[in-house]
A and B are shown apart, each in its own frame.
Chain A
Amino acid sequence: MSDSKTGQQGFGFYRPGATGPTAANPANGAASEAQETEEVLADDAVLDLSADEARLRVEDTLSRLDAELVGLAGVKRRVHEIAALLLVDRARRQFGLASSRPTLHMSFAGGPGTGKTTVALRMAEMLHALGYIRNAKVHTVTRDDLVGQFIGHTAPKTKEAIAKAAGGVLFIDEAYYLYRPENERDYGQEVIEILLQEMENERASLVVIFAGYPDRMETFFSANPGLSSRVPHHIAFDDYSHDELVQIAELMVADENFSFDDAARKAFSEYLELRMQQPRFSNARSVRNAVERCRLRQAKRLVELKRPLTKADLVTLTAEDVYGSSVFDDAAEESPADGAGPQTESARELDPESA
């Protein structure tokens, strides 16, 4: 039996009579680091928050969040606020000021592809760095993982999901599917009750994040007022503007070691304008798909090129690759007058989104 993990030495076993800090806290890692500073500071002591080593880790996570995610000012502001709250909470504990553990269950409401999952991952890292949760893990579940198929099946399934997420973040995607008002015998209600019970539990270091599209989240929470009141942080993810989407595309392309040439940049901007007006536009995810299809057309173009390739060939996405999209076809059909005629091979079958 190795006790080095819990910080006990040799055979010095903990005895139930003697209360020591190590015995009171089985958690390793950041959580126990947070508890290490047990000595209470004097009333007139001064605490320098910028010297806090947890703060440095958090700064790192927050700067990554700022760099990776374009736009989303409201979300970023809220994440910074939560980080500040936990940091101050740590400082208060160091002065021996007892206060209840802040509840950090959240709801992320936003359109498809607005970065809810990414923010959840960063949020988990940040909460872990601050010692609020024990590991920076996000367990993503949907209705299928929680709701059972027959009576008595739901509770074990939900408890299993909660056990797997324990010490981390339980991310419930499309949470409104849990509640089906049209079927009163639906087992989703049972899931909500079990979750509520778990969210009330002070000891469990579990953060539940409900995510979904804004309008349906609204009805979901209004139908479950008990749930709504236990989720203090409702974070809205706005749809991206055109400029932000262009920026996102640049980031994605750079991430994959590609680059747009100037004409392609302009063409992609035009593409986005057209695509944004079409139905089923899902923000960053559509951009990702569009970039993927550009790569496809680039590959085809390069293969058909009758000359040896250079590195620049492999890296550059040209206007031709962008104009191949069937989005331009549709636009040309609607207004044949301004058919500046970007030449298009019939790429419709390559473009499942606009089928």
Chain B
Amino acid sequence: MYLRHGAFSYLPELTDDEIAAQVRYGLLNGWPISIEFTDDPHPRNIYWEMWGLPLFDLDEPDGVISEINACRATFPNHYVRVLAYDATLGRQTTAMQFLVQRPEEEPGFYLARTEGSDRRQSYSVQSYAAQAPAGRRYARD
């Protein structure tokens, strides 16, 4: 299942140059860029692991791209996303977020049904990958 997450997720995957252009757009707006990764891309898992601190005070995307590449090299089978945070008063939220890496095979999610009292059904979305212990998910072997 191809995970749709963040902006541009219905577009073809961005090339590094396009990622740089998007990052430049964020930097021109004065948004610090941060990089996050996870191996549990459940829709409700909104807090991913941070790859270092947010990158403040940059003018050019080169530094971000090199950090993205470092993150990709360390976690080749994780999801990696780039976030731009808008700190202006009144907004103070994520202004832009998009994936820059996904594992080769994505088993996707399934719907788990649980029967409660009086035959009441409750549903939850669960990830196939999360059945493996953290770190072993999406391992290619």
Contacts and interface: CB of A to CB of B under 8 A. Distances in A.
A26 B20 contact: yes
B114 to A, nearest CB: 41
Leading 6 A-B pairs by shortest Cβ distance = A163-B63, A166-B62, A167-B60, A166-B60, A26-B21, A26-B20
B124 interface: no
B131 interface: no
B28 to A, nearest CB: 8
Interface residues of A, number: 27
B94 to A, nearest CB: 15
B13 A16 contact: yes
Interface of B: 7, 11-13, 15, 17-18, 20-22, 24-25, 52, 55, 57-64, 66
A185 interface: no
A23 to B, nearest CB: 6
Interface string A14-35: 1110000001111010000000
A76 B60 CA distance: 29
A1 B18 CA distance: 12
Contacts of A25: 17
A26 B11 contact: no
B18 A167 contact: no
Contacts of A295: none
A5 B25 CA distance: 9
- Overall SS of chain A's interface: loop
A348 to B, nearest CB: 43
Q: Give the residue among B52, B55, B63 with the most A Cβ atoms within 10 A.
A: B63
Contacts of A23: 15, 17-18
A15 B12 contact: yes
A168 interface: yes
A124 interface: no
Contact of B58 (A2, A28, A163): A163
Given A5-B25, A23-B18, A26-B18, A159 B62 contact: no
Contact of B18 (A14, A156, A168): A14
B53 to A, nearest CB: 9
